[in-house]
């Protein structure tokens, strides 16, 4: 992911020779994201707002946020276990992103298939506690990505 803008008069212009037919000299890179690589068919861990890249299959996956967390907190008696929904973003290199949610409760859908990959939510931490408020940035998701 790259953000670009026109160069200011006191900045050097970029020179990209990948596509000589296009004038890239009017482009200046202002910031970029460098993603770590992921391993398919293995459990991976993503913190909130983190992404992992699959160079071989040309996509990346990001853990955006927890949409809701109604899991029964430790220290409380509940009549059902509850559910947490986590939102992810899948993007193939040359396509629009696909936003999807995975749930901790299997009845609400803990897996999905996009393109030729199956995404399964293995776990979401931390688990709610009656005496501790979880900040949205504290969450970590464990997912399994299988090529099908």
pLDDT in tens, 86-100: 999 999 988 899 999
51, two tokens: 């992404």
Give the side-chain half-sphere CA count within 13 A for 75: 6
- 20 shares its domain with 64: no
Instruction: Domain of residue 1: give its range.
Output: 1-32
- 85 shares its domain with 135: yes
Q: What is the pLDDT of residue 77?
A: 92
- 40 shares its domain with 24: no
- 9 shares its domain with 82: no
- 40 shares its domain with 23: no
Q: What is the pLDDT of residue 17?
A: 47
Phi, psi of 126 (to 5 degrees): -75, 160
- 47 shares its domain with 68: yes
- 96 shares its domain with 27: no
| CA geometry: angle 50, 55, 57, nearest 5 deg | 105
Which H or E run contains 112?
A: strand 111-114
Domain count along the chain: 2
- 2 shares its domain with 44: no
- 1 shares its domain with 68: no
Q: What is the pLDDT of residue 142?
A: 98
- 41 shares its domain with 73: yes
Longest C-alpha distance within the chain, in Å?
67
Q: What is the pLDDT of residue 146?
A: 96
Beta strands in the chain (DSSP E): 2-5, 28-32, 36-37, 43-47, 51-54, 59-69, 84-92, 98-103, 111-114, 117-125, 140-147
SS3 content of the chain, % helix, strand, coil (to 5): 5, 45, 45
- 28 shares its domain with 40: no
- 28 shares its domain with 98: no
CATH assignment at residue 134: 2.60.98
142, two tokens: 């464990």
Mean pLDDT by 10 residues, the chain (148 residues): 55 50 51 69 93 91 96 92 97 92 96 96 96 94 96
3-state secondary structure 3-31: EEECCCCCCCCCCCCCCCCCCHHHCEEEE
């Amino acid at each position: 992911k790259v953000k670009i803008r026109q160069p200011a008069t006191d900045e050097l212009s970029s020179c990209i020779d990948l596509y000589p037919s296009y004038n890239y000299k009017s482009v200046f890179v202002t910031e970029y994201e460098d993603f770590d690589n992921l391993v398919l068919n293995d459990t991976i861990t993503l913190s909130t707002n983190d992404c992992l890249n699959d160079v071989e299959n040309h996509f990346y996956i990001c853990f955006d946020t927890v949409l809701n967390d109604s899991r029964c907190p430790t220290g409380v008696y509940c009549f059902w276990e509850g559910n947490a929904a986590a939102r992810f973003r899948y993007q193939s290199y040359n396509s629009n992103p696909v936003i999807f949610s995975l749930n901790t409760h299997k009845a609400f859908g803990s897996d999905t298939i996009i393109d030729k990959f199956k995404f399964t939510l293995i776990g979401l931490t931390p688990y709610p506690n009656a005496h501790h408020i979880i900040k949205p940035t504290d969450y970590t998701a464990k997912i399994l990505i299988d090529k099908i």
